[in-house]
Chain A
Amino acid sequence: QKEVEQNSGPLSVPEGAIASLNCTYSDRGSQSFFWYRQYSGKSPELIMFIYSNGDKEDGRFTAQLNKASQYVSLLIRDSQPSDSATYLCAPQNAGNMLTFGGGTRLMVKP
């Protein structure tokens, strides 16, 4: 079992819809969880992070964390074609090291 699991996609949503990206992790010691966006041919850029159970909102993005279920998700409201990218989930362990999932490719169709 991989340490960080993400559905590779592609996840296709129409413009204006909500995109839901999911991530499960195996290390129960993970404390913080980062979401990165990576456009094709570019390096990952930080979207947001979450460390408490529940929801955290930042503009059109909402991160959701459930440590008991070892599950973290990212919701993108009012999806735009410019949101088309690969989204990487990265739990941070007790040693402050990030482990990256394989990423989910999101396609937002106009």
Chain B
Amino acid sequence: DVKVTQSSRYLVKRTGEKVFLECVQDMDHENMFWYRQDPGLGLRLIYFSYDVKMKEKGDIPEGYSVSREKKERFSLILESASTNQTSMYLCASSGPGMNSPLHFGNGTRLTVT
């Protein structure tokens, strides 16, 4: 079974702090993704990565950056957290090609005060 592990289930940070959300997968998947999920807005893609050291912007990259130094690890960075970044953050991974589903981590509920 694919396991995608997000380092924190709940996180509370102050405005202006630098925040790191970590994600690790154990299935040697090439593709990794970061989404945020908000009521009424659904799942929105922030960034994704097809390989080590590669990153691509998703639909809402502003205010975020990512790092993928190792294949199994994909980090989301909020350079200066703001209250509008309070959300549920979901990491996912997938294998290559068609019909490869996304496997999600348990999510990190981030609150920025």
**Do most interface residues of chain B lie in helix, strand or loop, or is the interface mixed?**
loop
CA distance A106 to B45 in the complex (A): 24
Chain A, interface size: which category? 20 to 34
**Do most interface residues of chain A lie in helix, strand or loop, or is the interface mixed?**
loop
CA distance A43 to B102 in the complex (A): 11
Interface 0/1 of A18-53, CB less than 8 Å to B: 000000000000011010000000111110010100
Which B residues from 73 to 100 make CB contacts under 8 A with A? 90, 96-100
Once the chains bind, are A34 and B101 in contact (CB under 8 Å)?
yes
A88 at the interface (CB under 8 A from B): yes
Once the chains bind, are B99 and A49 in contact (CB under 8 Å)?
yes
| Residues of chain B within 8 A of A42, CB atoms compared | 106-107
Provided the pairs A100-B42, A100-B43, A101-B42 are in contact, do residues A46 and B101 lie with their beta carbons within 8 angstroms? yes
Once the chains bind, are B43 and A88 in contact (CB under 8 Å)?
yes
Binding site for B on A (CB under 8 A): 31-32, 34, 42-46, 49, 51, 88, 90, 92, 96-98, 100-103
